[in-house]
Structures are given as structure tokens and as C-alpha cells.
Structure 1
Amino acid sequence: WTEKYRELDKQFDALVAQQREIVIKDQMDQIYTANGGEFLNAFTSEDQTAYFVRVPKNRLELWAWLESDRLLDPVFREFYSERDVVFEERRLRTESTPLGKYDEAFNAVFWEASPYHWPVVGWASDIPMYTLQQAKDYFATYYAPNNITGVLAGDFEAAQVKPLLERYFGRVPRGKTDPPPVVTIEPKQLAEKRFNAEAETSPTVRVWWKGVPLVHKDTPALDLLSDVLSGRTGRLYKGLVVGRQVANEASASIDPRKYGGIFEAEVTVKDGKEPAAAEAALHEEIEKLKAEPVPAEELQKVKNSYKANAYRRLSSPFAVFVQLVRYDALGDWRLINTSPELADAVTAADLQRVARDYLTKENRTVGVFLRKAGAPAEADAELAALPPQAQAMVRQASQQIAAETDPAKLQEMVEKMQAMAGQVPAEMKPAFEIVLKRAGERLQALSGEKK
């Protein structure tokens, strides 16, 4: 560094030290906590950022005042220290995990032109370059009433709350600049892409196909198709784990977003088996869905499960909030009411059609992750006393928990698990408790990072 740079750096550190002497750390959280509030946090995904807190009914006016004030008159008091926190979050979640950097690279291979090509937290070289002025400009553009949806879920009278909202949030002016539209849409994929990597992980085969946005007419069919493949009674588990015995775990899911989507399948390869054999078995199961309609009984089973899960997601105000804020950001908040009906209308012919249309060789990106030479096989002391089936369940759940960066989703998971704790069979109780503990620990870690 030059002498001038070292001098400026020293001045900057002195200014930060002076700031920290007068800044009240986590002041908003302290105010909420003193008034019975809890779970003040936020999450960011590819399509939205959401802030949330749980407050007593008689503290709604406090909430309206605080939240409208930080929109009306934002003060970025700890911008530089928070920028450092974001960089540390990236290091912990991406660069210090066995598959973090590979997941990021795989995502960049999958998306060619779409903004989804970029990681949510940004590339490592991006974060230190963000300036305070850029943050202010971004806030002025995106954190304005013309780009914000507010969600209240819980026990309140709408007629009493509306004047409160108008009084406080009505004073926040419309943004001077509208958010720019997304103009680059992912083009049709022309050929299969392959991604081969060696990492400190169990051998894994991952296949992503280009899907559709959440509001697309084919989303319900693709969602049910993933349910046909997933779970202990799903085709992938029965075909690859129980039948061919080439995998320890196998699952499928969809990730619909605002401007695109993913249909994904992942297989954890059994020790001693070749990833190529597991991949071939996965493709065989996909081809069966194209060749033969799903039997009526099997289709009805996944529909019943879908509708039951939709009902369970109404079990708490927080779960309702998560759905409303997500559905609205991705295109239509009314899906909280209509998605069960849309799923119920799906036919076996619809499943066969979307399998043929979307799950093609040309439309897929295949990732094969091999265990790096010299890397030890995974060991988990907590799992040693569990039976093999329970070990596999905990291992899969732990991977999902570790990969989750959304505190709202984890909070919802913990609440659901706590609600069903009394219904868990005795033989699965130890495994259930391990998963619940790990979900709670991960939630606590994320909440600590976000504050």
C-alpha cells in the first residue's frame, strides 16, 4: 500500500471507532424486546427481501411507527461494519462449507443469461466494493411504497388497523425512480451441460432442468411430479435406494421463481457404487414418467399430501406471513388460497406432458460431485446409535438445514416440528430430536448473523 492509503485507512478506522462510541447497538431490537416483540429479522432471496417481527396486538402502533420511520428517514449508521458482516456470512456459508463454492459455480453454469446467474449475497469481489452512496441509491429505488408489500398476520381487527397504517405509512413518499424492469430472460437451453467436481463430500449426482415461474400454468403439474418422485414412498427412493441399491438418498423438488424456475433431482450415491450407475437409474425413472401415465391411486396420494401440507401451512400467523410475502413477490398472493384447487385439477396426462416437455436431455444440467482423494468419509457421532434408516433421514435433513439461509423458512420448520413432536413414533424419536436440535441451532446462528 502507498503511504497516502495507509494514512487514509488510519483516519477511517478512527472515524469508525468514534461512531461506535455513540451508536446504540441493536437499538431497534432492544425497543421491540422491551415491548414484548420477538424474532426481529430479515431474509433475502433471488426475488425479494423481507423484514419481519412478531409483536403483541397492543403494540401494533409501535411497529407502524418504527417501520415507517426507517423507510421515511433511513440512517445507515453501521454501513461499513455491516458490509463486513455480509462478507463474513459469505465466507461461512459459501467458502467454508464442503459444497458451498461448488453450488455457486453449478448455479452459474445452469443460468446463462438470467440475473439468477449471480449469487444472492454477491461474488466475493463485489462485497468490498459496495459504497455507502450505492446503498442509499438502492434503498431510495427499491425500499419505496411503489415497490413494497406489507403483510400483517394474526389477531387484529382490520377496520382498526387500516387508519393506523394510513397514518404512519401514508407519510412515506413514492420513490422518485421506479425499479428498472428485468429485461433479460433465460433463453431456451440448446444442449445438456455437465459439471464435474471433486469435493469433501459424499459422492452426489445433481440434475437441474429449466422449469417455469411460480405463476405459470404448468407449475402445479411440475410440483406434483416432483412429489411422485420424492419421499420414502416416492419412485426415486424405491427405485434407487431400495430397488437398485445404488443410493443412500434420492429426492426431487421444484424451485419456482418470478422469472424462471428449476426442476431438480439429487442422489447421494451409496458407498462402493458408481455415480454413473446412480445417474443412469435416475434417468430411467424419469423416462418411465414420460412413457406411462401415473396410476390414479398414486396421483391421488400425492394430491392428498399436497393439500394436507397446504392446510398445515395455515397453522400459525408466521407460516401465513411467509406464504403471503413469498407468493406476492413471485407474482400472485392469492395462491395461498388457490394452489390446492390448482393441484387438484392436475391429471395424469398433465404429469406425462410436463415430463416430456421439460425433463429432456437438452434442458438439463448435470452435476457429478466425487469425494476428493484423501478426504475422509463423513462421520457423525450423534448418528452412530441410530438405525440405518434413521441415519439416512437425519443426514438428509441436516444437509437441507445447513444449506438453508432463510431464517423465516427455518422458523416455520421448527414451529411445525414442535407442533408434531407428540405424534412421532417412539422408534423415530431420537432421530426427530436430533433434527429439531440442529434446525434450532441453525436458526439461532442465522438470527445472530442478521442482527
Structure 2
Amino acid sequence: MNFLKRITIVTSIAAASFTGYAYGQDFQWKEATSNGYTYKYVTNDPTSARYYKLKNGLTVILSPTKKDPRIQTFIATKAGSKTDPSDHTGLAHYLEHMLFKGTNKFGSKDWAKEKPLLDQIDALYEKYNQTKDEAKRKEIYKEIDRISGEASKFAIANEYDKMMSGMGADGTNAFTSFEQTVYTEDIPANVADKFLAVQAERFREPVLRLFHTELEAVYEEKNRGLDNDPRKVYEAMFAAIFPNNNYGKQTTIGTVEHLKNPSLKAIREYYNNYYVPNNMGVIMSGDFNPDEMIAKIDRAFSYMKAKPVPEYKVAQEKPITAPIIREVYGPNPENITIGFRFPGATTKDARLLNLIGSMLTNGQAGLIDLDLVKKQKLLGAYAFPYVLKDYSVLLLQGNPTEGQSLDEVKGLLLQEIDKLRKGEFSDDLIQSIVNNEKKNVIQKYEKYTSRAESLMDEFTSEIDHQATLGYIDEISKLTKKDIMDFASKYLQDNNYVAVYKRKGEDKNIVKVEKPAITPVSVNREDQSEFLKNIEKMPEEAISPVWLNFDKDIAKNKLESVDVLSVKNTDNELFRVYYYFDAGKWNNKILPLAAEYLQYLGTKDKSSEAISKEFYKLASSFNVSAGNEETYVSLEGLNESFDKTLALFEDLIKNCQPDQKALDAYKARLKKSRANAKQNKGAIMSGLRSYAQYGPQNPFNNVLSDAELDALKAEDLVNVLHDLFNHKHKVLYYGAKSGNEVVASLTPIHKLPATLKDMPKSKTFTQIPTDKNKVLFAHYDMVQAEIFWVRNGEKYNSSITPTVSLFNNYFGGGMGSIVFQTIRESKALAYSTYSYFSLPSKKEDKDIVTAYVGTQADKFNESTIAMNELLTTLPKSDQLFETAKSGLKKSIAAERITQDGIIFTYLRAQKLGNTMDMRKNVYEQAPKLAFTDINNFHDKEMKGKNYTYCLVASQDKVKEADMQKLGEVKKLSLNEIFGY
């Protein structure tokens, strides 16, 4: 459950009609009544959002769209870590976890017997909370553990998740941030009645059952944070820039001390204070009739009673008059983050902050983009606004290249701020941003999910939807002087906080120690009467829609090149891809050439001029070379189609060698390669590739340092000039028909008489997992990250239904066997899962993977627990039927649309499939019995060899423990990375 605040751009503007942004429209609040309910709306609102306020104060925001037979739902409470009690920080977050545990009606098999035990646990936690003597605390916790084990015999773990999974819901989750706690579901449109019945009960009177194992999962989440340098940077930034406000005084996940001393009494008090209808909102976007939906929501939640919410007083911050410097240490590469404080989300200045962010960084023509990134003055840099209700922050981050100090990076970033104050930016930059915002309105809100997310963020931050919709008109009227005055007011040369992320040991880490926990019962076979009644509720079946590759894709020819297209009837956007069935395995310098292109110009235009021109058109391009595929992608507005393609074709065919740019690129690349060796995620990726392919593998298939040094600018430019002379396909999604696409491409995309094959590909073959092995890489961290990897057999399409059902049952979600056992019952990990993965092409082998991220001192317990599951598949008839039902409903409500149709077709071709394989899964999976997936488990997992990929501190995991798993091989970073 993600508790980090997602970066919310307050000025993201919703779009529902998808016909574009009508410049200069009048957005006014109006009121209307329909079906007996009065609502407010904004005129010309492309989301068609209706704002209701029910009699008990509950806010309901409904944004209907018929594109997909699904509904994105958010149930949001305007309370988060800033409203945590100062002596119980982290409370809002672990309350969020407990809202998945049920009530007296679900999650329990015998409430009468469970409740007295839970009352005892309550009292013990209060005693534990107030006891200081460590020996006495251990005795109390031992008693908590014992009684929790007794209480768990009457609990039904994950019954909420089972109900949602059985409905075909996706994305069952929640998150907590500074001022919001939000519960999210993506449901098929036909189960809205069931969904509302479950949610109404969920929030009626939650029961804090299975608390000590869930709190241990939060401990694990805290430990993950202790290994997360970026999180530590942000926490240091907020503590320094908000010394008085709770944004800086307390973190979302809380302190170690408070996590060790929970109070169930305090949790209930917090719930009763803030989870009241006048402080909550139900936000939905998707396929529904709003007149019908509001009546259903009213019936479901009318039992809630309004009550006063505790007053939250915004602590005022004093102006910063001198730079505030902080330092953070950790194993990740060095960087620097600079923060400037701004007013809160509801103000005009917070909206203009987003414009400032775009002027500095927009990916193409911002000041930082052009002056620092494109000119390669540092390894990387960006700016973005972090908009919150009380205050906002403009954050700038820079990463040094080799030999560059953090002070030098800071100086470069502050120079760009100075240019804003002095007006040293292009006169047409604001208009270019306006053009791109118009496109972003359409682009971001093509889907019901992101529309709901925007409306939800507006609700929790109390942003006026009218102001959001009027943002483009607002910024279009600004002058250069307006920007200069704004920057001079807020972005001075002394009113910032700078956090230096240093490489080194963090001596302030206090690990949350592992308590002694006896595994609790999860009672998989039991069902509450409430669940049974939910399952009995009627639902109108949704008919699935399968792709027909012959009908859904227009197939044309541009000379010898296949042109595959899908028509966009929704909006004014286009996306074009030049697709090459070749990549780094064919030519190791292809990815380097692809990235080098962004620093090149032609004889007529500089690289900076080309970027500005793309941005003025509200268009962009990207060249991405993977192992076996390369994509040149372009996107923009239909009106700029010809200009966008012509601009790119001119660039790639006429780009000029630039040795200075190459030298800078090489230096940055070497620094990036060195930084990758300090990144635990990259190290684990290397271990997994090593496990699948051996010492020479796709991950370390890179140029050596000597090969990189010998590379010349002409070598890379020749690759780029020659790219379109090789065999490729054109993929198109936009307003044009297939014939019209060909007609537009003919004068632009000039082809040679004969297209060449790419150089013969280097072949990497998956090696047999012939014995148990441990691949170990040292990393200074609190946790241990463990991946199980096993190569299976070659692709066999006939097992697809079995694989889909097996993954749903075994290890693919919060209601799965793996999650229930390792997290819910044994409290060994915050994150854990297991999958049987089919390959991406028919020549490759299946892969069995499993994962546990755990405290290093739980390494033995965690590996034993996962290996038990890989050896014996626990049987649960109820969970199996839920997995079948959920899989079928999820597929029925899924719609593959837009360019997704083309990509699905290309994937099917690589696997040798001529049909939409979802049809096979939908028809065959419900016919399978438990014996089928049990036999599959026995064949593919039981008694098999595994390669254990382990990233951990060599000081925290003993080699003797690793040797219990198999032959241990400690890999050097050079062996992993190939340089």
C-alpha cells in the first residue's frame, strides 16, 4: 500500500469529450437537479463531472464515460500524516492498512468468540504502550502474540481482497500521504451494487484484527524506507523547509519509536474523528448513469452521521532568509535537491508554480532542458512542483557528472532560476507551454482512471475545479514581466533549502527490530455470511470483446514496408512508431546512437532549435533500442502530423557528427555506468539476467570501457543515417485511415529500392537450472532482497489458461496464497509474490519467479516459507473459485484499444498466435479443477532447482545460511555489469 504522495500537478485539466481544448471557453459553476438530486457542475467541463453533497455531508463526484465497461473508484478521507497525533505518528498510514481487515460482519468466522480476545489484545497494547521496562515489554508482547494466535482462529484473512477479486476488480489498494488517505478500486461496471455494499460495510465499524502481523508489515515498509535514499532526501527537505508545519515535523510512515508503541485506542479515536461523511468523498469515473449511481451511493452511505472534524490549524512558516543546508548519507550515487517554498494548492500562485516548473523542465525546451541537459553540463537535472494544501514546493534536482562537485551542480541549477528573474528565456516559451498544455489535457485524460485521479486530488486538496479548467486561459495571458516578477518574489538567491545526498554510511539508521511472531491462522476455507450474500447479489453479465487482428487493424503497404493502423475516433492525437524487429543484440552501439541523437543538429538547425520546434508543435519524439526491438515513436496533434514527421526525418537523416557532444556523452555514460553499480535495483536486474543466461547475458552485453573510448561520432551518426534503410514497420494510431497514412508518409518517409536486414543477432540462450545456486551481491542495506529464478520449457500456448488461473490463485495479489502465507500469516515481508511467466517469443523458455523483500534477520524464515509454498500448493476451494470468477470477470470487462491493439498483434506474432489468447483463457480457465493447477504446480515448481538471486549486506546475511540453499557464488560488480 503506497503511502508516498504522488506528485500532483494541480493544473492538470480533465478531458472527457476528447475533442480537444476549446480555447477561451467560459467555465462557470452552475447548479442542476436530476432524479431528485441537486448537483453542481462547471460549464464546458470536458469531464462532465457532477458534484453532489449528500444530506450527511458526503461529497460525491461522478464523471461518466462509456469507453470501457469499468469504473475507477476512489474513497478519500481528507486526513493523512499531517493530522496524525504528535505522539502517534504513522497512525493514519497503519489505519489505512487496517481498513482491509473487515468488520464484525466480514473477516470473522465467529464474532462472538473473536471479540473478547480482541478486547484483551486492545488492553495489552495499551499496557505495552505505557511500559518502559524492556523485559516487561517483551513479556507483554509475548502475551499479545499468544492471544493474537487464539483470536486468529476466528478471523478470515483477506476476505475483503477475496470479495474484490471475485468481482473482477483490479488495483485493489490504498495510499496515505500528507493530507489524504485514499482507497482505490478499478471495478467492472456491472458490480457497482456489490462494490458499494462492501464499501458501506467496510467503513461502518472496522475491526482491528490481525493487528500485530499487519503492524510487522508496516515495520517492513519502514525498513524499506531506511534503504531508500531518495525518500530520505525528501524527508530531510520537508523537515528543513517546514520546521513548523506537520509536513516537516512528522513523516507519513512515522518514527520507529511510535511504530514500536501502537495504541489501538488512539487508532479508533482517529478513525472516529476523521472518517466521517463530511470529511470524505466518493469519486468515480467510468461506465455508469450518474442519476442511477448517485441514488445507489446515497442508499449505501446514508447511515453515516456527520460530526465536527477536529480543527487543523496551519502552522505558519517564517520566511527563509539564508540558505538552509542539510546532508543525507546512503549507498546511492550523489545528488543535490533544492527546494523553494510557495503558497498552498488553492492559490493562484500555486497554479503559476506549475508554469514555472514547465518553464524549467518540460522534457524538450525548458531552461534546464536546453541549458543543462542538452548541453550535457551535468549528468541529469529536472524541476517539478510539489503542490500541497497548506504550502507547495518547487524542487530542483541535479546529478553530477564525473569530477563535478555538488556545489557546482547547485550553481548550475541556481543560474537557471536567475534567468527566470532576469527574463532570459525565449519570448515564445509561454505560448509553447500553452500549446502543450492543450495537448496534455487530451492526452492525460484519454482514460477513465486518470480522470478520476485528478478529480480525487482536487477534492483532497480542496482545489476549485473551475480554476483547474481555466488554467490554460489564465497562463496564456501572462507576459514575460509577470514571470520575472513572480520569480523575483518567490525564487530569490537566499531563500531555499539544499539537501546534499552524499555517498557513505548513514549512521542515523535505527532499524525496527524483529519481534517474535507466531504464524497466525488465515482460515482460507471459511466464508462470512456477508461474503455469501454479496456473491448472491445479481449482476448483469458483461460480454467480452475479442480482438480480430484481420478486422481491427488496417494493413497497408508503403512500398515494401507494412503500415499497421488503428483509427482514433476519440480525439485529436496521433502516435506513430517506426518499429524494427532488432535491437542491441544486433548492434551494441544502437542504443548509444539512439540516445546520442538528442544532442545533434543538422547543417541548418542546432539541436536546441530542433527541440524548440518540436515543443512549439506540441510534438515529441523518442528513439528506444531494447535488446531485440527498436522503436522510433512520435506523438502530437493531428494538425501537426506532417510537420512533426518531416522534422524528425530531417533530423535522423541529416544529423551531423558532433565530437564535443560525443565526448560529453561518453563522460556522462561512464558516470551513469558507475552509478548503476551503486543501485540495488540495477544490481538485482543483473543477477536475474545472470541466473537466466549465465555469465554472458543480455544485461552485461554492453561495450567495454575500451570499446566505448574508441567510439567515434561518425560511427554513431552512420548508424542513425542508415536506420531507415533497414527493414521495419510503421505503426499508426490517429485520425487518418490506412490509405491516408500511406499518402501522408509517401513524400516524407523516403525508402531505398531494397531494405536491408539488420546485422545478425547475437544469441542468448536460457541455461538449464540444473542445480540449486545462490548468486550473491553485497549492498549496504537494512533489508535483504531475494528472487527465485528457474528456467522452464519452451513456449506452449496450450497452457496459457492454466498459467493465468494458477497465477491468480497462487501468487498474483493480496488475496493469493503467497501473500496470505508470507505476509498475513507469518509477517515476514511487506512485498512478496510469485509468478509463472510465459516468454515474449516462442523460441524462449518459461520462467518461474518468486520474490521476498524482508529484514535481513528474517532471511532464513523467509526462504523456508517460500520454498514450502514452491514445494506444496495449499488447497483452498473457496480461494480457487474466487480466482476463477475474478479472472473471468476481469477479462470480460477488459478492452484493448487504441495502439494497444497493434502492440497486442505484434506480441501475438512473436509467439506464433493468430488469435486473441484472452478468448482461450476466458473459455477454458473456468473448466479447470484444482487438480489441474496442483498438477501444474507439481510439474513446474515442486522439487525443482532454483537460482536464488540475493542482494543484501554481507554483514547481515551469513554465508552458512546461503549455503543451505545451494552452491554460493559471490559475484563482483564487474561480473554483473560487464564493465
**TM-score, normalization: structure 1?**
0.81
Q: Quick one: which of 131, 135, 150 aligns to 2:282?
A: 150
Please show how residues 305-344 of structure 1 align to structure 2 within 5 Å.
Answer: 305-334=436-465, 335-344=467-476
Aligned-pair identity in percent equals: 19
Q: 1:6 to 1:52 in 2, by over 3 A?
A: closer
Q: 1:450 to 1:312 in 2, by over 3 A?
A: farther
Superposition deviation, residue 116 in structure 1: 0.2
Residues 252, 263 of structure 1: 8 Å contact kept: yes
Superposition deviation, residue 352 in structure 1: 1.4
Residues 283, 455 of structure 2: 8 Å contact kept: yes
Counterpart residue type for residue 235 of structure 1: L
**What residue number does 2:297 align with?**
165
Partner Cα separation in structure 1 for residue 160 and residue 183 of structure 2:
13
**What residue number does 2:592 align with?**
387
Superposition deviation, residue 350 in structure 1: 2.3
Superposition deviation, residue 200 in structure 1: 2.1
CA deviation map 1:101-134 (0-9, x unaligned): 3442332122110110121111222222221111
Is 1:127 the counterpart of 2:281 in the alignment?
Answer: no
Residues 325, 497 of structure 2: 8 Å contact kept: yes
CA deviation map 1:282-331 (0-9, x unaligned): 21121111112643322222222223223222111111111111111112
Residues 168, 188 of structure 2: 8 Å contact kept: yes
**What residue number does 2:795 align with?**
none
Please show how residues 270-419 of structure 1 align to structure 2 within 5 Å.
Answer: 270-292=401-423, 294-334=425-465, 335-372=467-504, 386-387=591-592, 390=595
Partner Cα separation in structure 2 for residue 388 and residue 450 of structure 1:
38
Partner Cα separation in structure 2 for residue 337 and residue 116 of structure 1:
28
Partner Cα separation in structure 2 for residue 446 and residue 432 of structure 1:
37
CA deviation map 1:22-63 (0-9, x unaligned): 222211111111122221111111110110111222211111
Partner Cα separation in structure 1 for residue 287 and residue 134 of structure 2:
61
Q: 1:269 to 1:12 in 2, by over 3 A?
A: same
Task: Give the secondary-structure state (helix, strand or coil) at the position aligned to 1:152.
Answer: strand
Q: 1:213 to 1:431 in 2, by over 3 A?
A: farther
Partner Cα separation in structure 1 for residue 460 and residue 154 of structure 2:
37
Partner Cα separation in structure 1 for residue 304 and residue 394 of structure 2:
40
Is 1:67 the counterpart of 2:199 in the alignment?
Answer: yes
Superposition deviation, residue 98 in structure 1: 3.4
Partner Cα separation in structure 2 for residue 336 and residue 155 of structure 1:
24
Q: 1:226 to 1:137 in 2, by over 3 A?
A: same
Is 1:87 the counterpart of 2:292 in the alignment?
Answer: no
Superposition deviation, residue 355 in structure 1: 1.1
**What residue number does 1:249 align with?**
380
In the alignment of these two chains, the number of paired residues is 404
Task: Give the secondary-structure state (helix, strand or coil) at the position aligned to 1:289.
Answer: helix
- Compare relative contact order (CA 8 Å, sep 6+) and give the higher one, 1 or 2: 1
**What residue number does 2:341 align with?**
210
Counterpart residue type for residue 48 of structure 1: Q
Is 1:237 the counterpart of 2:369 in the alignment?
Answer: yes
**What residue number does 1:411 align with?**
none
Q: 1:362 to 1:311 in 2, by over 3 A?
A: same
Counterpart residue type for residue 191 of structure 2: R
Higher strand share: 2
Is 1:191 the counterpart of 2:396 in the alignment?
Answer: no
Q: 1:218 to 1:274 in 2, by over 3 A?
A: same
Counterpart residue type for residue 331 of structure 1: E
Superposition deviation, residue 198 in structure 1: 4.1
Residues 295, 348 of structure 1: 8 Å contact kept: no
**What residue number does 2:173 align with?**
41
Task: Give the secondary-structure state (helix, strand or coil) at the position aligned to 2:390.
Answer: coil
**What residue number does 1:260 align with?**
391
Structure 2 portions without partners, runs of 5+: 1-132, 506-584, 599-620, 634-680, 686-811, 820-829, 833-979
Higher helix share: 1
Partner Cα separation in structure 2 for residue 212 and residue 446 of structure 1:
39
Residues 623, 632 of structure 2: 8 Å contact kept: no
Residues 334, 501 of structure 2: 8 Å contact kept: yes
Task: Give the secondary-structure state (helix, strand or coil) at the position aligned to 2:174.
Answer: strand
Partner Cα separation in structure 2 for residue 348 and residue 109 of structure 1:
32
Q: 1:235 to 1:267 in 2, by over 3 A?
A: same
**What residue number does 1:412 align with?**
none
Superposition deviation, residue 446 in structure 1: 11
**What residue number does 2:144 align with?**
12
Task: Give the secondary-structure state (helix, strand or coil) at the position aligned to 2:379.
Answer: strand
Please show how residues 109-128 of structure 1 align to structure 2 within 5 Å.
Answer: 109-117=240-248, 118-128=250-260
Task: Give the secondary-structure state (helix, strand or coil) at the position aligned to 2:339.
Answer: strand
Residues 624, 632 of structure 2: 8 Å contact kept: no
**TM-score, normalization: structure 2?**
0.39
CA deviation map 1:55-82 (0-9, x unaligned): 2222111111111112222212223322
Q: 1:446 to 1:98 in 2, by over 3 A?
A: farther
Partner Cα separation in structure 2 for residue 248 and residue 96 of structure 1:
23
Counterpart residue type for residue 122 of structure 1: G
Residues 291, 352 of structure 1: 8 Å contact kept: yes
Moved more, 136-145 or 334-343: 334-343
Moved more, 36-45 or 180-189: 180-189
Residues 594, 623 of structure 2: 8 Å contact kept: no
Counterpart residue type for residue 357 of structure 2: S
**What residue number does 1:378 align with?**
none
Which has the higher Rg, Structure 1 or Structure 2? 2
Superposition deviation, residue 255 in structure 1: 0.6
